[in-house]
Amino acid sequence: MMDLLANPELWKYLSIPVIAALIGWVTNWMAIKLTFYPLDFIGIRPFLGWQGIIPSKAEKMATIAVDATIAKIGTVQEIFEYIDPRVLTQYVVDHTVPRTEEYVDEIMLAEHPTFWENLPQRAREMVYERVRKRSPELVDNLVDDFSDNAEDLLDIQSMVVEQLGEDRTLLNRIFLECGEKEFRFIINSGLYFGFGFGLIQMATWYFFPAGWILPAFGLLVGWATNWIALNFIFRPLYPVKIGPFRLQGQFLRRQPEVAQSFCHIVTHEILTVGNLVDAILNGSKSHRARNLVRKHMKKLVDETAGMGKAFTQVAFGPTSFANLKQRVGDLSIEIAGETFDDPMFANDRAQAVEEIMRRRMEELSPEEFQDLLRPCFQEDEIKLIAAGAALGFLAGLAQLTFIFGATMF
């Protein structure tokens, strides 16, 4: 036994499955890293260098994420309903009505300082009071209008794609957190599958020591470990019972867990109340939202002027009175953009939306659900497999040359 253990040829053969396992682990690790990193292109464009597959196609991957999940678990209309217009109205009223005097003074001093400074305090108080009384109903009507016309006011796909396209770190994190266990499995499986292939490789090399065997098996290990791991993750789509065992793709079995992780990120960092309002007021359809705000604010100005409207128009002039309405509308838009910065309110509404979206996502079919993670691997998958195969080939060639002192031909 001691003579056998002292035989260097034995250790050379035993090194084959160990090295194959390392090849499998390294190639799979590299495949995952190259999928997400680096965030920015490193090298000389267009061919000499690399950028992570996900970051390099950020907008496309973000679009896929929206189409595969968000579009299926909640429309813009439904998201507004989840947030609850009544809660939204109360929040706006609570944060704006106490500052009525400040807002009225700001507008009047900017537009008609002499008139406002010379207006008796009692008359000013009447204006403040009328605005305070009308504000809750006006806000309620405005929020209802926004909610009823949400689909026409917000392009949610553009909003999400733009945000994730600019924030590649967040885009990466969505996939990495949702597929954390799958990516870890892919990396570790390189060891198991690589070792298994290595045992076959060792036996083949013992009985058929052709020079091309080790490089060829290295190439096979680098390619096959990735391919097998992907199939373990996504296949079979539906549970298959074989004796006491229930088989289904690893990612698909974790649907409730993944849904919770994905919906938490989406509702707390992407579809927040603040982001939605900002997209409505400044997005591709912002002109519609701004016109809607101005329409409601003009009513407020008219109703505040009340019986003295004719006098006010004469005193200010028709153009100046119209400018006042415009100024009220513009200030209201500014206020709306600054109001939703309360972390507690944002978190409270995010939790409400998250719960509903999570339930919806758990109900997706396996075909629909796999589309959340599958695109990570489908994009340029052949490049990753080819890179793994090439690395495996070089490792097998090095093993042949430096361990066994042989050549391929």
Alpha-carbon span 257 to 181, nearest angstrom: 11
Q: Which residue(s) pair with 48 in the sheet?
A: 44
198-216: average pLDDT: 83
Would you call 240 helix, strand, or coil by DSSP?
strand
What are the tens digits of pLDDT across the range 380-406?
A: 567 667 777 787 788 778 877 877 777
Task: Provide the whole-model pTM.
Answer: 0.79
List the domain range (segments joined by +) for residue 168.
1-405
Highest mean pLDDT of the ranges 46-55, 166-175, 370-379, 386-395: 166-175
3-state helix, strand, coil in the chain (%, to 5): 80, 5, 15
Beta strands in 5-46 (DSSP E): 42-44
Would you call 241 helix, strand, or coil by DSSP?
strand
**Whether the Cβ atoms of residue 176 and residue 227 lie closer than 8 Å to each other:** no
What are the tens digits of pLDDT across the range 20-51?
A: 888 888 878 887 888 889 999 998 887 788 88
**Whether the Cβ atoms of residue 301 and residue 324 lie closer than 8 Å to each other:** yes
pLDDT over 50 at 139, yes or no: yes
Beta strands in 226-364 (DSSP E): 240-242, 245-247
**Cα-based angle 74, 158, 163 (whole degrees, multiple of 5):** 95
**Which pair of structure tokens corresponds to residue 209?**
């020591």
List Cβ neighbours of 337 (8 Å cut-off, separation of 6 or more). Answer: 277, 278, 281, 282
Is the bond preceding 343 in cis, omega lying within 30 degrees of 0? no
Indicate the number of domains in the chain.
1
pLDDT of amino acid 314: 47
Alpha-carbon span 233 to 381, nearest angstrom: 15
pLDDT over 50 at 79, yes or no: yes
pLDDT of amino acid 243: 78
